[in-house]
Structure 1
Amino acid sequence: MAGRPLTRRVTPDARGMSALPETEPPARDSLYPSYAYPDYAWAMSIDLDACIGCGACTVACQAENNIPTVGREEVAKGREMHWIRVDRYRTEAGRTAFLPVPCMHCENAPCEVVCPVGATVHDSEGLNVQVYNRCIGTRYCSNNCPYKVRRFNFLQYANTDEESLKAGRNPEVTVRRRGVMEKCNYCLQRIRRAGIAAEKEGRRIADGEVVTACEAVCPTRAIVFGDLVDRESRVSRAKASPLDYALLGELNTRPRTTYLARVDNPDPALDSDGG
């Protein structure tokens, strides 16, 4: 993020603008193949104006996806395992800006082209999925990810022998072994569960039927998840906002996770020295 806008911010007068002050770069040609999504195209929108940086999304994701606790020493070595982190930045006005960062699920995913064993692939619904039993731990994908959201399981952090710990894990999610990459998958188990139920009833998955763990726990409803094929879905409406932008959009990764810029409404009385 060095030399780039850390988080996008606008004033209340800009609510009706057609674009942010830092305009998004135009779409460029790419060597990546184009994808068609006739059924579903899952995506996420995060409202930076609503995010309070509480970290509840990180805790919920850890519980939902059996993410191990690695301890202070491993975190100090840069080996944290959280699939969604909340970056904190100090603004020019001395305030704190929060930026939740999960896997972006890029259309032009830099991680996919460098994996020598095809462990990270694009699925038919636009998800960047991780095949754990293919991964050999080269970490090329992590090195090629500009968002730094892929985690490497350096050690056997998960205790698979203690019987009392097994009851605290989500049985719908794999407990990963050491030596593999892992990351956010938009709570794929919840998507599949809703898809099976909808298929039995002969219908499409309804908007709001799939709720990711981070979306469910967010106290300010800053996170919205849904299907872009449904033009009336909540996430489609959020992405139609003039405040919508992609993190590091100039890299042409075309992420499925985008953000709504923060609207600053400063109070001169509070910003003054005597406020």
Structure 2
Amino acid sequence: MDIEVISTDGEEKGKIRLPEVFESEVRPDIIKKAVLSAQSSRIQPKGAYPRAGMETSAETPQKGSGQTRVRRIKGRGYHAAGRSAWAPFTAGGRRAHPPKLEKKEKERVNKKEKDLAIRSAISATKELKMVASRGHEIDGIDNLPIVVDDDFEEIKKTKEVKEVMERLGVWKDVERAKKGRSIRSGKGKARGRKYRRKIGPLLVVGQDRGIFRASRNLPGVDLALVDEINVESLAPGGTPARLTIWTESALEKVKERFSN
């Protein structure tokens, strides 16, 4: 399949043959599984001390003392006096089922499934209907994926990146991402993640020659080297078909990486 290569001026520069990986079958189920595996691998293990609440001088009251025979911390005149240190069914006692370190949190995925997922996610970037159904603004765009020449990698000013995106017809999607920022509901507001944001275009380049610095402040826009792209960047949240802009050199490296 041939695709047009667009210059930074917005004019057609020529055509390029898409790598065979773009012909792969789109498998949303495998993509979702690979994304969940990547997300779960970042979970930090946590657990309670196995002997929490048991290393005290607590004793059980004797028979006939008129007290419930539950172990109590020794002491007098301080807040822990008379409180159970061992039984999980009493107020102030240890937890019955605390978090355990040995719990397996990571979602495992086979190597072949992982490879199939990245191929499938790359192939989904050329599907117009899937990209539109994901919520991206692609009015005026007739063919996907969008391929630009390598001069795009040398842009060093955000204003110039905006001008190129306007010529490519993807700036509306950046504006959608900017307007879509909202305040998160729940306790996450107090934990360093106050805002939720929309996902905008992904820029995949072969080499950073200034484009990273120029595009880092654009809302919703992510930029990645072709050697570092993964399923999460191509299908955030496990939903495939992200609006993606490729450079010529990036496609050449994709061809080398997924040649087999």
Higher relative contact order (CA 8 A, sep 6+): 1
Compute the TM-score of the two structures, normalised by the length of structure 2. Answer: 0.25
Compute the TM-score of the two structures, normalised by the length of structure 1. Answer: 0.24
Higher strand share goes to which structure?
A: 1
Higher helix share goes to which structure?
A: 2
